[in-house]
Structure 1
Amino acid sequence: MPISFDQFIEQSALELSEKQAAFNSTFQAAVGNNSRYEYDLVEGWIKFVDIKTNKELLKYKIASVGSYNTIRGTWQWAWAKKERTKEEITLLVRQISILAQTFPDNKDLFNASPFKTDEFYGQEVSGALLKLLDGQAIYNAADNGEDSEYWIYLVLVEPIN
């Protein structure tokens, strides 16, 4: 019997916890607290840069998952933003298509409109995608600072040298 999406979320939560702990220690050793990040969702990368020297400290290939609106309590997939071009949508869908292919019965995975959900949904689906892609960690980037109304979820797939 195939595993349900909810069961997969539960299974991937443990792996996510272990990978996040390993990533956090690596991240702190390489980056510390004096860095900022830059990312390109379409090209599929995030890099962490030293604030003082502007030197690149870490760079990862990413899969852009989506964003959670903290004010509205809604989730939207990265590929579903209206201002995206057809080419951008295609690239972003390819980054996370394994999630929808694995769970074709989960209609939320195909929903192009923002939908109501709880604040944990982004972490859960990012954790599931992390497991499917055998990624390294997830990164939750606040859009425009810590007090942002959007939390952007990224899966760090592998380091880029």
Structure 2
Amino acid sequence: MTASRKLLAAALAIVSLALSTPASAGGEPGKCTGSFVNPITDICWSCLFPISIGALDIWPSSRPDPDNPDVPLCLCGIRPGIAMGFWEPVRLADVSMKPWCFVNLGGTKIDPGFDIGFRSISGPSAIGGASQYYSSWHVHWYAYPLIYWMEIVADFLCLEPGSIDILYISE
């Protein structure tokens, strides 16, 4: 009985290998692939610097820092706050060759329900065949107020509030 089980297992393994197809890094043609932005590993956290409060440099950097008011206290509407200077990541862009494919939303493909979006920006391509000299690209622009979501800054009343939102679609 053990010999027949081994033979059956070997036969199943051979059939499985024969019928399987190799995985490709780019995914199947026409398939929308992507991943959500990981706020820990995919964000340039060093790009937030320099950080300043009023005219005082808290964390200097080689990047430019627009001048803050000399007095660190300010008003945001009628709310009192602290005049802080730092670079806030609030926008996100993705580019895809497939229309209505949102790479930063985990490779979500949206069906708009109407025939639009199949014209695109064209340029030179390394792909051979009939489309050798042209490539098509679609751009998506998102609101992504990460610092506000994570409440990293204590005085977040004057940060750009909101949730993720698709601001522009080039299709």
Structure richer in helix, relative to its length: 1
- The higher relative CO (CA closer than 8 Å, separation ≥ 6) is in 1
Please, what TM-score do these two structures have when normalized by structure 1? 0.24
The TM-score, its normalising length taken from structure 2, stands at 0.23
